[in-house]
Amino acid sequence: MADILLYLVERESYFLLCQKPLLKIFEGMKTRSLRGFRPIINENFHREFDVDLEGEILEWFDSNQDFSLDIPLEDQTMNIERISELAILFARWCSYSEWRCWDARLFLYVEPIIGRKIEDVDEFLEYSIWSEFSLKLMDLVSSEYSESVILDWMGRREKLGETMEPSKDPRILPTMAAHRLAAESLHEFLKSVQNEKNSLLIGREFLNSLLWKFDKLSMAEHMAVNR
């Protein structure tokens, strides 16, 4: 199973970064002078460390040669896949927070709220599912939502003939606690998705950069629109 990755991105910072000449990005990452450009982190969530992302961005520069340092990313004429790779790094740099989850577990967290079956795990790579889901969550407080997830999980186990007795399966209580924590953090994360100042970056581990989503558009479409 691979993780689905969600990043809440500050739109203004991201687009400003895309408009900077790549030389300024390279120098800023090398000297660590762009750290103040990152949005203030939401302390309730993990976010990648500055030094780790600086390393990834500098590695991109080392691995690619057919770009111009004098112009911004949005004006580059190099391979669109390479452009999308750097755009994703920029969006991660401009994120407030990150939320990740095994893709198979997301059925538990999403289906009870949207009231329908999700046929394919790739639906979790679409902005529409997260937009619909976040709107439905606005009607629920965190505890109500997490309780609905737990009840749905219990019902699924019972249909499979699995026990819900902790004495018979010591993993029951830790798994229940993990689902509750994940549901409550997802509820908190998605509260800001509808804010017009924010964008949602959606991807999966090992997913081709062209297939990541920046709101409604794939990164390929997104970069084509902004070139």
Q: What is the pLDDT of residues 169-203, one digit of tens each?
A: 777 788 888 889 999 999 999 988 878 899 999 99
pLDDT for residue 33: 95
**pLDDT exceeding 70 applies to what percent of the chain?**
98
Q: Look at residue 84 and tell me if it is in a domain.
A: yes
> Do the domain assignments include residue 154?
no
State the pLDDT at residue 1.
Answer: 59
Q: Indicate whether 130 belongs to any domain.
A: no
Query: Is residue 19 in a domain?
Result: yes
Flag whether pLDDT at 224 surpasses 80. no
Is 90 exceeded by the pLDDT of residue 227?
no
- Quote the number of domains for the chain: 1
Domain assignment of residue 49, yes or no:
yes
Question: Does 151 fall in a domain?
Answer: no
Average of per-residue pLDDT across 60-80: 91
Instruction: Report yes or no on 87 lying in a domain.
Output: yes
Q: What is the mean pLDDT of residues 130-152?
A: 89
What is the pLDDT averaged over residues 115-138?
A: 91
- 161 confidence band (pLDDT: 50, 70, 90): confident
d(CA 165, CA 207): 39
Domain extent, residue 76, equals 3-102+191-225
SS3 content of the chain, % helix, strand, coil (to 5): 55, 15, 30
Distance CA 144, CA 138 (A): 11
Task: Establish if 178 belongs to a structural domain.
Answer: no
